[in-house]
A and B are shown apart, each in its own frame.
Chain A
Amino acid sequence: MTRKGYEGVVVAVPVSVPYVRYSIRAAHWWLARCISEILKSAGLKKDAIDGLSVSSFTLAPDSAIGLTQHLGLSPRWLDHVPLGGASGVVALRRAARAVQAGDADIVACIAGDTNHVDSFRLTLANFSQFARDAVYPYGAGGPNASFAFLTAYYMRAYGATRADFGKLCVAQRANALKYSHALFKKPLTLEEYLSARPIAEPLHLFDCVMPCAGAEGFLVLSEERAKALGIAFAALMGTIERHNAFAADPVQMRAGWALDREELYAQAGAGPGDMDFVQTYDDYPVISLLQLEDLGFCAKGEAPAFVRKHSFTHDGSFPLNTSGGQLSVGQAGAAGGFLGMVEALRQLTRQAHARQVEDAKLGLVSGFGMINFDRGLGSGAAILGC
């Protein structure tokens, strides 16, 4: 049975609570700031939010339901999406279904995390049962080590070089310089990238995201409702999610997108060549390369050649991660999984200021999350249009 499309569902009100490297506040503070900013921007009262989707790593011991009491919300539809980098796409997809079914009129999707000086280490040590049993005792390198394996394997299998990864990082930094919330404010050159100190070979400093505190959010609602409220929106053209795909592959060189991309493009009535920009999940540059391949922008193994061919700045030949991505903005925990979605929304509603992709009508946002053991389990993508 083919699944239903997402007609009539729109996404609106991109909100970012400005990131800081370390925060003494709890995750609740960041999520509260996010929802309050959404209400202010949309001109809504708290009661108008009847659906809530929450993504956070540091909310424990609370979950989404505890947050309702903490913030005095009374939604009739509630979702907790603990999927890290896949949470933005997944929160949107599920919220869209709730709106289509009439379970909720206006869903606020929010993601946020705090970052105390020691939070990152604690998150790593207890990230998952497999991580605690079979990864963390091995040098406690966290995701750096896991992605070092994937990066090294990819380089060997497909001939990617450090300069290929560096090109993406440098281009994203150029984009970030035009995004006021980015934590990295200085230009990055390829020479600086290449000569940075090693972290987990072949990964060096600028291949790794910087953990920080922050929050991102948006609203999901019907097109009529958005029009009635008079807020700018983008239409949800299509979206997919998939978990633990290709489990038998000995090493992760592809993820769920490769299984479901045909359906994604069929929903949107468009192909990879029609996208005006792409926001990949970029916790490490190699993952952007996998997404470009699995989402059909080039064939498997050809991403290095694709990278050498394009410029990736917002005004270049293939606008990618136009706000700088997590590599240049910072990784605010689960909010990292929302960063691309919020930026896509800004691009399509013409709020991207100096980094606006000219005449952007269709954009693709991709999510990837949860390195449970040796690979990322969750993948998803959405196409938004205006």
Chain B
Amino acid sequence: MLEKPKRKNPVLRTRLPTLPPAARSRVALGLTAAAALGRFELQQCRDCGTVQYPPREACQQCLSVHLPWNPQSGKGELLSSTVLHHSNDLFFRERLPWRLGLVHLDCGPTVVAHLHGGVPPAPARVRVAARLDRAGQAVLVALPEKETSNMANDRQLREFTCDPKFRKVLVTDGKTAAGQAIVKALARAGAELIWVGYAEPWKKFSGFDELSRVSQVTLLPLDVTDSKNVRELAAEIGGKVDILVNNAEHHRAFGIGNRAGVETARAEMDVNYFGLLRLAQEFGPALRARGADGLASAVAWVNVLSIYALANFPPHGTFSASKAAAHSLAQCLRAEMRPAGVRVVNVFPGPIDDEWNQLLPPPKVAAAGLAEAIVRALRDGVEDVYPGDVAQEWLARWRDNPKALERELSS
């Protein structure tokens, strides 16, 4: 059972982050690519259908080199288990004892997996899933066959997830419907404290009173286009933030030819791109330093991007460009946060059901849907999230043929 962490003794040294072993062969990164999206996929031979693991360069059955990664159920039987009391690696040494299982998957191969505390001794039915570990690489986790209510509290599983429970969160914009839904979802998920930023504090915004009534919430003036404001806020609360959700966004329609001048595009860039950069420069180092700070360590940085970051949607052309820039910067941030085990979660929603997407046909992502997707991603330890049917379809099209998507979006 997970208990609320005790108040930290400020005199004690904060343990520095270590990472589990991160080296993988290139072919093994197929597992990571799927796990980043919350999927469990294994190599399955296109010619003979054999599912195999560990990842190989050729099919061990028929030697075919056509080995697409296909989704698997992960169901299997726990053959045996062990509890490590000794490890050769610093990360695990600091987290002993550590439970592992040998699982025979129904789809064929036998795998070594981290073993959830709720799984009974062998023989037992389990469900194997792929999770990103703190090094950002995929690992297999054997979970109880049936979902239980407090499964996420498992000490080992929590090392792979970014569960908001007992954590302190900064949401950078509380003025939008989406921002307010995110705050409420985090509060329901058990976040201990939620700082909510709002620009132009002289204007009271719709929903302000409702937010103020959420017991965990503290509202703070925050304008991500104001470097001094961001710096001062980081100095004040940066060392306490465990999860930062950057949802501040400037969104206008039209592409290039339907607007004169660059002011609108510059404003988009100032919030969507430079806003992220300012936050990353001021809050990034503080989060990095607290990557191993006990049960409620700094764990995640969430960027609300847009599916338009993958391929430009000409009717929202400059907005798409600003989100593409933010996506690129988020990849840089991800690389810089990785040594501390702090996960950068990029959220690529389809069009959100707000005034700036008024002219787009449904389905559109509801504010609450976006918020739930973010909390679920944190709980499942997912790195890239595509909420909504439009985002899912664009993603599928983009993965299949990016050039085709470009043509489709421009027609």
- Interfacial residues of chain B within 231-284, with CB under 8 A of chain A in the complex: none
A373 interface hit (Cβ, 8 Å): yes
- Interfacial residues of chain B within 10-24, with CB under 8 A of chain A in the complex: 20-24
Given contacts A132-B25, A134-B54, A374-B102, is CB(A141)–CB(B84) below 8 Å?
yes
Which of A132, A134, A142, A152 makes the CB contact (< 8 A) with B88?
A: A142
A-chain residues with CB within 8 Å of residue B89 when the two chains form the complex: 121, 136, 139-140
Tell me, in angstroms, the Cα distance from A136 to B221 when the chains sit together. 47
A200 touches B114 (CB 8 A): no
Which of A124, A134, A203 makes the CB contact (< 8 A) with B112?
A: A134
A149 touches B23 (CB 8 A): no
CB distance from B85 to the nearest CB of A (A): 5
Tell me, in angstroms, the Cα distance from A121 to B88 when the chains sit together. 6
B54 touches A133 (CB 8 A): yes
A-chain residues with CB within 8 Å of residue B81 when the two chains form the complex: 149, 152
Tell me, in angstroms, the Cα distance from A374 to B54 when the chains sit together. 10
B216 interface hit (Cβ, 8 Å): no
A-chain residues with CB within 8 Å of residue B85 when the two chains form the complex: 197-201
B54 touches A373 (CB 8 A): yes
- Interfacial residues of chain B within 54-110, with CB under 8 A of chain A in the complex: 54-55, 60, 79-89, 91-92, 98, 100, 102, 104, 110
B139 interface hit (Cβ, 8 Å): yes
B-chain residues with CB within 8 Å of residue A374 when the two chains form the complex: 102, 110, 112
Which of B53, B82, B87, B123 makes the CB contact (< 8 A) with A149?
A: B82
Given contacts A152-B80, A251-B80, is CB(A138)–CB(B88) below 8 Å?
no
CB distance from B33 to the nearest CB of A (A): 14
B87 touches A251 (CB 8 A): no
- Interfacial residues of chain A within 306-363, with CB under 8 A of chain B in the complex: none
A-chain residues with CB within 8 Å of residue B87 when the two chains form the complex: 139-141
B84 touches A145 (CB 8 A): yes
A271 interface hit (Cβ, 8 Å): no
B25 touches A129 (CB 8 A): yes
Q: Which residue of A lies closest to B31 (CB)?
A: A133
B88 touches A251 (CB 8 A): no
Tell me, in angstroms, the Cα distance from A89 to B83 when the chains sit together. 33
Which of B24, B53, B79, B140 makes the CB contact (< 8 A) with A251?
A: B79
Tell me, in angstroms, the Cα distance from A247 to B24 when the chains sit together. 23
Q: Which residue of A lies closest to B139 (CB)?
A: A137
B82 touches A200 (CB 8 A): yes
Tell me, in angstroms, the Cα distance from A133 to B135 when the chains sit together. 13
CB distance from B168 to the nearest CB of A (A): 29
Tell me, in angstroms, the Cα distance from A149 to B28 when the chains sit together. 23
CB distance from B6 to the nearest CB of A (A): 27
Given contacts A132-B23, A153-B102, A251-B102, is CB(A139)–CB(B139) below 8 Å?
no
CB distance from A41 to the nearest CB of B (A): 37
A186 interface hit (Cβ, 8 Å): no
B-chain residues with CB within 8 Å of residue A247 when the two chains form the complex: 60
A-B contact pairs, 10 of them (CB 8 A): A133-B55, A137-B22, A137-B24, A137-B133, A139-B89, A140-B87, A141-B82, A141-B87, A144-B86, A374-B102
Q: Identify the A interface with B (CB < 8 A).
A: 120-121, 124-126, 129-130, 132-142, 144-146, 148-150, 152-153, 156, 197-203, 247, 250-251, 373-374
Q: A125-B88, A153-B122 are in contact. List 16 more A-B contacts (CB 8 A).
A: A121-B88, A129-B25, A134-B112, A137-B21, A138-B113, A139-B100, A140-B87, A140-B88, A141-B100, A142-B88, A145-B84, A148-B80, A148-B82, A149-B81, A149-B102, A150-B80
